[in-house]
Amino acid sequence: MDNTEEKQIERRVFTSFFQAGFIEAFTGIFLLQLGLPALFSRSGFGDWQSALFALPIALILLIVVLLVRRFVVIPRLGHVKFLPERRRRISKLIIVPIITLIAGAIVGYIFSENASLRHTFVGQIPFSLIPIIVFSAAAYFLDMKRLYVYGVIVGLTFPLGKYLETAIVSRNALPVTILSIAFVFLGIAIVFLVAFLRKYQETGV
Amino acid sequence: MKELPNRGKKQTTDSLSEIMNIDRLVHSPARLSILTYLSVVEEGDAVYLLNQTGLTWGNLSANVTRLQEAGYIEVVKEFKAKKPHTLLKLTDKGRKAFQGYQNKMKGLLDIKSLSPGGT
């Protein structure tokens, strides 16, 4: 066995800790948190009110996911402390929120300079690029290729919603598109979790 | 029968002595599997090893005991939320033995692939 094979085994062990659908669940919750306030605000609520109504839903789902991880998944997978090299890669994930903040600030500045841009198809491009960059960074540092695909899907959600908004002339098309993709991710997460539970039984040792 | 060239003979003799010197404690499939999965993490518990190796609890326990007796792995038994929890870690001696085994096997396979009739 050479170093490459050991790396492959280590990668397989590491990725096995993400097979219960947590990444999909977090992505779904993230999209839900974007789609719900947009839907509420289009239904006549103010921006702050919409955000406040959506927040508890996302928080409850987040707590459920974390509890499932703590009490259902980890007892079945076991506890592992990864090698320092892997831990360093994970710690580099801190770069993801930094990228998000910088990109968000740039987009915010552009829109503050030209508010009408926000409601155009071109105005959705930054909303596409941010998730693609963020998911790509996460894919690179976590060494998980499927995150690149998720980045593209999430990234395409915004221009697709905007396109549908103009194509079918429905002001709810954008939030409905975002929420549909969110539910797809949450559905995938549930399928992954069920598959995981069928594969792994609690050993109690 | 075609005679092997001298170099081939020497290599065959070397490889045979290498086979005889192989660490039998590591060579067992179950223990090799345990050492492999412990070598890619800093530490892991028994549930992790059960899942990754596919061994039964009894088989894992017996092989872990042998590796522990040889000083290849360190076993820490503790209680987590009032439940017994067994944590396992590869020792420096174990890591060296595992790497030595890997190198020997790689050398053997290389010699085999070089020797006449080898694949």
What CA–CA distance (Å, rounded) separates B64 from A70?
27
Q: Chain B partners of A79 at a C-beta cutoff of 8 Å? A: 44-45, 47-48, 85, 87
Q: Which two tokens stand for residue A148?
A: 């690149």
Give me the residue from A9, A16, A205 closest to B47, CB to CB: A205
Q: What is the rounded average pLDDT of the residues A38-65?
A: 86
What pLDDT is recorded for position B5?
A: 54
Q: How many structural domains does chain B have?
A: 1
What pLDDT is recorded for position A167?
A: 81
Q: What is the rounded average pLDDT of the residues A65-75?
A: 92
Q: What is the rounded average pLDDT of the residues A158-170?
A: 82
Q: Which domain holds residue B59?
A: 7-14+23-114
What pLDDT is recorded for position A1?
A: 45
Cross-strand partners of B45: B87
Angle of helix A95-113 relative to helix A125-142, nearest 10 degrees, comes to 170
Least confident residue range of A122-131, B80-89, B96-105: A122-131
Does residue B119 fall inside a structural domain?
no
B60: nearest CA in chain A? A205
Does residue B102 fall inside a structural domain?
yes
Does residue B34 fall inside a structural domain?
yes
- DSSP class of residue B28 equals S
ipTM above 0.85, yes or no: no
What pLDDT is recorded for position A117?
A: 67
Confidence band for B114, pLDDT divided at 50, 70 and 90: low
Does residue B106 fall inside a structural domain?
yes
Q: Reading across the β-sheet that carries A80-82, which strands appear in turn?
A: A80-82, B41-45, B83-90, B73-80
The CATH number of whichever domain residue B40 belongs to comes to 1.10.10.10
Does residue B108 fall inside a structural domain?
yes
Number of Cβ within a 10 Å radius of residue A45: 16
What pLDDT is recorded for position B95?
A: 93
How many CA atoms, within 13 angstroms, populate the side-chain half-sphere of residue B104? 19
Does residue B96 fall inside a structural domain?
yes
A9 part of contact set with chain B, CB < 8 Å: yes
Q: Chain B partners of A82 at a C-beta cutoff of 8 Å? A: 41-42
Q: Chain B partners of A77 at a C-beta cutoff of 8 Å? A: 47-48, 51
Average pLDDT over chain A reads 85
Contacts of A191 (CB under 8 A, 6+ apart): A21
A85 part of contact set with chain B, CB < 8 Å: no
Q: Chain B partners of A81 at a C-beta cutoff of 8 Å? A: 41-44
- Cβ atoms of B73 and B64 within 8 Å: the answer is yes
Query: What's the pTM?
Result: 0.78
- Cβ atoms of B113 and B119 within 8 Å: the answer is yes
How many CA atoms, within 13 angstroms, populate the side-chain half-sphere of residue B102? 17
Q: What is the rounded average pLDDT of the residues A190-201?
A: 92
